[in-house]
Amino acid sequence: MTKNTRMVPARSHAAPWIRTACLLFLATAAMAGGTAVRAQPDPVDWVNPYIGTGGTEAGPEYAGTMPLVTTPFGMTNWTAQTRQNRISVSSYAYEDQWITGFIGTHQPAVWMGDYGYVTLMPEMGSLQPSPEYRRLRFSHADEVVTPYYYSIRMGDVATGKRIFAEMTATDHAGYLRFTFPAGTKRSVLIEATRAGTRGWVKADAARGEIVGYNPDRMDAHLSTIKLPNFRGYFVVRFRRAMSEAGVYQGPLSAPGTEIEGDNVGAFARFDDGDDPVVEAQVGTSFISIEQARANLDAELPRWDFEATVAALKATWNGKLGQITVDGASDDQRRILYTGLYHALLYPKLFSEQGRYYSGFDDKVHAGEAYTAFSIWDTFRAENSLLTLIAPERIDGMVRALLQDYQEGGYMPKWPNPSYTNIMIGTHADSLVAEAVAKGFKGFDLKLAYAAVLKDATVPPEGDTTRRWLDREPGVPYEARAGLTWSSTLGYIPADKVSESASSTLEEAYDDHAVALVAKAAGDEAGYRRFTARALGYKTLFNSARGFMQARNLDGSWASPQEGWTEGDQWVYLFSALHDIPGTIRLLGGEAAFNAKLDEHFAGGHNRHDNEPSHHYSYLYDFGGQPWKTQARVRQIARDAYSNTPTGVLGNEDCGQMSAWYIFAALGFYPVNPVSKDYMIGGPLYAGATLNLPNGKRFSVKAANNSEANPYIQSATLNGKRLDAPLVTYEQIVAGGELAFVMGPKPSRWAAGWRGRPLAP
């Protein structure tokens, strides 16, 4: 989403990787209480959290990842803060040289905003609330970055006055440890709010706590919903007694130990005794101070930093170990496991001990909740990956979307944590339909059908009087913008609604998803109705030009450059991912279809840095030339990903860019997620295994696989000949073996397979 096309080098910044690997080994050995060398690295040891943190010279057009210390799907993530984050700026950038704090953040992507965050910063001298004065210099050579532990030495190398900071985390809490140099003052600053945000903070030395809240929602302007009760609450608990505690506002300390206002925070001093170590545990909540304290009590009941690190490491090893690979290079392993780490961050848990604050009705409810669904991006592959490696979460994620529907009126397209009106379509329909199709039953099917039906049939407020511009501030939730027009015309008119062509095409897929939910709910008439609507993408095909093209209200063709969302006529030509065989017919048959795909790739039109093109390399499977898919997938995986700080082409997009690479490595991809089919592209390695949560194993073997042998010569599934370029969800979760024989030249394997066009 909103990406660049700059290709990254195959290698860069090699020295920090070596230094970090050594530091990580030493840190791991120290935490284990010994120096024994493991024969086999753990899965988490292959994660390189630097990937995607560099490239900030491109502005927001870079991956925007951060070296987050957190649990899988954790509510609050912790990272060193090298710059003040905001919409289009992440907290950490590889190019930076100063640390201004350690932030408990909820920012899901570079182009989204944070909300309810809190920042801690150790200080050696006088109180310095402003980031530009409290900052300390650091070097990557002194940094250890992992998903479960972070450490850094920061300060003045020449004088030796450097603070050693460490972090680990749980679902709702952070655990920080600061070791100060001898002979210096020891204090910790807690930034509750920044300039322009009114918050509250209280320093309670007797209780050993600093508590407060931050009501900031950086994306609040992207809808009309008001949330007067929204706050990010925090409780900071210190292991040792404070010698002094106070509060500040702006750049100056303030009288007393409690303050409410703009740009406020607190500090705690620990000048008594010779112990240089200050430990802090930070509970976070969106419900209350009491709930933040309860989260802290439940998740960090003891002062045991090493045990918390070990527990989080074990958690990550458990999830990352669900995929194992053979025959991959070290760089490929790092790209794969870092991608899996990124994919397992989203969506984010938003419930706390069986309750959650709703950003849709401003109330607290009982239940399980998730937010940070970047659905326009993630419905394509990220969600499908989670159905395989995190199926225990799917029912709760769907219930969360249905709760949003009940509390706000529609399922959201991008909750953060409320409506944000970012991107187009109602692709929550796809997430619901995929769960239904794959047999997940932990949610109310009738409620699910009501939710997707409303998306497809009820226009948003003021639908015919608004242009519905992307990121337009202060407008109601847009749902399917222009639905009033498309319900009668079959398309959204470009002279009435912004991004009309892209919306028409993507909402045809959404109608296909709604049709499948209708069928599962027993509404056969609804199934036929929405299947017919799903064919509406054809109304935009201009046969004279051979491209999709926006139409005006009177049916005339709009400009070929008009009506697109982060793309153009090339990016959206093959966008009917639910009816590729129908698209083949529109283009005049297989020869014309394949020639158009060839032209698409040869002309540089493929935008792998953006999601609408993610399935395009797999489309040759439908056109009878699967060998081209095999070569193209491998080429994209090689060129668009690297084990470097700039190793993601464009924004990472909450796991979608990573999910694409993971599926490429495994050898198959969900072109149409709700179909349950995974189209085969050929694996990147000699072997890979999905260690599924149900106890089954699905292995992919590729004899003779190498860069010189990218083409499938033959395939078997569980020992039986496989002639179709696909494997199904049921076949994967049942366990078994998909085996390929690879070779240096294209073969006719699976060239005779054909898909069936969608029919009402």
Residue range 37-53, pLDDT digits in tens: 445 799 999 999 999 99
Q: Which of 517, 551, 569 is the last residue of a domain?
A: 569
d(C-alpha 702, C-alpha 375), whole Å: 33
**Does 105 reside within a domain?**
yes
CATH code, domain with 233 = 2.70.98.10
Backbone Cα Rg of the chain: 26
Give the structural domain span for 383. Answer: 375-569
In order of 203, 216, 249, 282, 330, the CA distances from 261 in angstroms are 15, 13, 7, 22, 51
On whether both 306 and 451 belong to a single domain, the answer is no
Closest CA to 646 of 2, 1, 137, 4: 4
Residue 417 sits in a domain of what CATH number? 1.20.1050.60
Q: What is the pLDDT of residue 338?
A: 98
Query: Does one domain contain both 304 and 226?
Result: yes
Q: Is the pLDDT of residue 17 over 90?
A: no
| Pair (562, 428) in one structural domain | yes
Clarify whether residues 431 and 548 are in a common domain: yes
Q: Do 283 and 140 reside in the same domain of the chain?
A: yes
Residue 328 pLDDT > 50: yes
Residue 536 has pLDDT above 70, yes or no: yes
Q: What is the pLDDT of residue 23?
A: 41
Per-residue model confidence (pLDDT) at position 39: 56
Same domain, 383 and 314: no
Query: Are both 232 and 89 inside the same structural domain?
Result: yes
Over 80: is that where the pLDDT of 290 sits?
yes
The string of pLDDT tens digits covering residues 297-306 is 999 999 999 9
Tell me what pLDDT residue 11 has.
27
522 is a domain residue: yes
The structural domain count of the chain equals: 2
pLDDT for position 14: 33
Last residue of a domain, one of 569, 589, 604: 569
pLDDT of residue 15: 34
701 assigned to some structural domain: no
Instruction: Give me the mean pLDDT over the 652-669 stretch.
Output: 98
What is the pLDDT, as a whole number, of residue 271?
85
Q: Check residue 760 and give its pLDDT.
A: 83
pLDDT exceeds cutoff 50 at 235: yes
Q: What is the pLDDT of residue 606?
A: 96
> What is the structure's pLDDT at 552?
98
Residue range 433-457: mean pLDDT, rounded: 98
The pLDDT of residue 273: 80
**Residue pLDDT, tens place only, 703-730:** 999 999 999 999 999 999 999 999 999 9
Assigned domain for 625 exists:
no
Q: Which pLDDT band holds residue 274 (cuts at 50, 70, 90)?
A: confident
Whether residues 541 and 399 fall in one domain? yes
Report the pLDDT value the prediction gives residue 669, as an integer from 0 to 100. 98
Over residues 466-513, the pLDDT tens digits come to 999 999 999 999 999 999 999 999 999 999 999 999 999 999 999 999
What is the pLDDT, as a whole number, of residue 419?
97
Strand (E) positions, 170-257?
A: 173-179, 187-191, 198-204, 209-214, 232-238, 244-249, 252-254
**Cis amide prior to 67 (ω within 30 degrees):** no
Q: Tell which of 320, 336, 357 closes a domain.
A: 320
Does the pLDDT value for residue 562 go beyond 80? Answer: yes
Position 86 in a domain? yes
Per-residue CA distances from 85 to 49, 254, 548, 636, 715 (Å): 18, 26, 39, 31, 49
One domain for residues 314 and 383: no
Q: Which residue has the higher pLDDT, 260 or 4?
A: 260
The stretch 342-351 carries a mean pLDDT of: 98
Task: Establish if 759 belongs to a structural domain.
Answer: no
For residues 719 and 715, give the distance between their C-alpha atoms in angstroms, rounded to a whole number: 9
CB 381 within 8 A of CB 660: yes
| Whether this model's pTM surpasses 0.85 | yes
Contacts 24+ apart (CB under 8 A), 685-689: 685/325, 685/326, 685/327, 685/328, 685/332, 686/326, 686/327, 687/325, 687/326, 687/327, 688/323, 688/324, 688/325, 688/326, 689/323, 689/324, 689/325
Query: Cα-flanking dihedrals φ and ψ of residue 753, to 5°?
Result: -75, 145
Kindly state whether residues 313 and 383 are assigned to the same domain.
Answer: no
